Amino acid sequence: MKVIFVGAGPGDPDLLTVKAQRLLSECRICVYAGSLVSPEVVGLVPGDAELHDSAGMTLEQIEAVFVKGRQQNTDVIRLHTGDPAIYGAIREQMHALDRLGIDYEVVPGVSSFQAAAAALKTELTAPEISQTIILSRTSGRTPMPVKQELAELARTESTLCLFLSVHKLAHVARELIPYYGADCPIGVVFRASWPDEVVLRGTLADIAPKVAEAGITRTAMLIVGAALGSDREQDIPVSQLYHRHFSHGYRSADADSGADS
């Protein structure tokens, strides 16, 4: 028997891994994060399986379900939204399992920052503009380590994907403007890949009122950076990877590549 931490992906059941789909269809006991995991994903668990919504549970109550699984020699699926390794609060559950001597494994999932990038139809990296993606958040009840305050991250001018921060969007924009500029593009995606997904685009200067008007206060991904502005052909330095004059280990440049390069 073991506990399997499974990434539920961002919402759309088609974005589950094949392994997650199989595990859910075979599941007998499931603890799921009801505040974030989509009902459609939870619906893949067989109707006669035991379901526990962790939103209203303490760690001790979750541990009790793990122990019950061991008593019944039945695997327990611990379903976390997106990828369990990102703001999943899985560490304390793993510590408990270590203490209890119960084995566990992790099945990764598609994270919401990836689903949000897909919804925005953008590439998060752009040559000469951003070759770094930072996954972070603003401080909430969990304070930020001083060296990872938004202003510190902003100095790098990387593409920023901010979780758990949409309710502080006006503050985020104010913090970022000195580094990225007021006209820096930002995308906000509410419930990426859910049927009621909302995609908003703007600049650091104008995004907060747009999001307030849409009534979005939670479950949204913020993606900020100049890379988002390089989606129109005239704006960009693009990767040379597929350019006919560019050689690499798998392809030689056109024979006439010297002619006009």
Classify burial at 145, counting beta carbons within 10 Å of its beta carbon; exposed 0-12, middle 13-18, buried 19 or more.
exposed
Q: Distance of CA 95 to CAs 68, 99, 100, 110, 216, Å? A: 17, 6, 9, 24, 35
| Amino acid, single-letter form, for residue 231 | D
Nearest approach, Cβ of 169 to ligand SAM (angstroms)?
11
Tokens encoding 140 = 């909430």
Which range, of 126-134, 184-192, 224-232, 238-246, touches ligand SAM by CB under 6 A?
Answer: 184-192
Answer whether 220's CB lies under 8 Å from 240's CB: no
Nearest approach, Cβ of 184 to ligand SAM (angstroms)?
19
Count of CB atoms situated within 10 Å of the CB of 128? 10
Nearest to ligand SAM of 70, 84 (CB atom): 84
Taking CB atoms, the residue at the shortest distance from ligand SAM is 82
In sequence order, the 6+-apart residues with CB closer than 8 A to the CB of 31 are 52, 54, 57, 62, 65, 76, 77, 78, 79
- Count the site residues for ligand SAM by CB under 6 A: 24
Nearest to ligand SAM of 115, 173 (CB atom): 115
Residue 203 near ligand SAM by CB under 6 A? no
Rounded to whole angstroms, the Cα distance separating 229 from 129 reads 10
Q: How far apart are the first and last CA of the chain?
A: 62
Which range, of 18-26, 70-78, 191-199, 236-244, touches ligand SAM by CB under 6 A?
Answer: 191-199
Residue 207 near ligand SAM by CB under 6 A? no
Binding ligand SAM (rule: CB under 6 A), the pick from 76, 86, 102, 153 is: 86
Binding ligand SAM (rule: CB under 6 A), the pick from 15, 23, 160, 164 is: 164
Answer whether 85's CB lies under 8 Å from 111's CB: no
Which range, of 97-105, 174-182, 189-197, 249-257, touches ligand SAM by CB under 6 A?
Answer: 189-197
In sequence order, the 6+-apart residues with CB closer than 8 A to the CB of 49 are 27, 28, 29, 30
Which range, of 22-30, 78-86, 98-106, 168-176, touches ligand SAM by CB under 6 A?
Answer: 78-86
Binding ligand SAM (rule: CB under 6 A), the pick from 70, 78, 168, 191 is: 191
Residue 116 near ligand SAM by CB under 6 A? yes
Rounded to whole angstroms, the Cα distance separating 52 from 65 reads 8
Nearest approach, Cβ of 44 to ligand SAM (angstroms)?
17
Residue 189 near ligand SAM by CB under 6 A? yes
Residue 32 near ligand SAM by CB under 6 A? no
Nearest to ligand SAM of 111, 230 (CB atom): 111
Rounded to whole angstroms, the Cα distance separating 66 from 31 reads 9
- Write out the residues near ligand SAM by the rule CB under 6 A: 10-11, 36, 80-83, 86-88, 111-112, 115-116, 163-164, 189, 191-194, 219-221
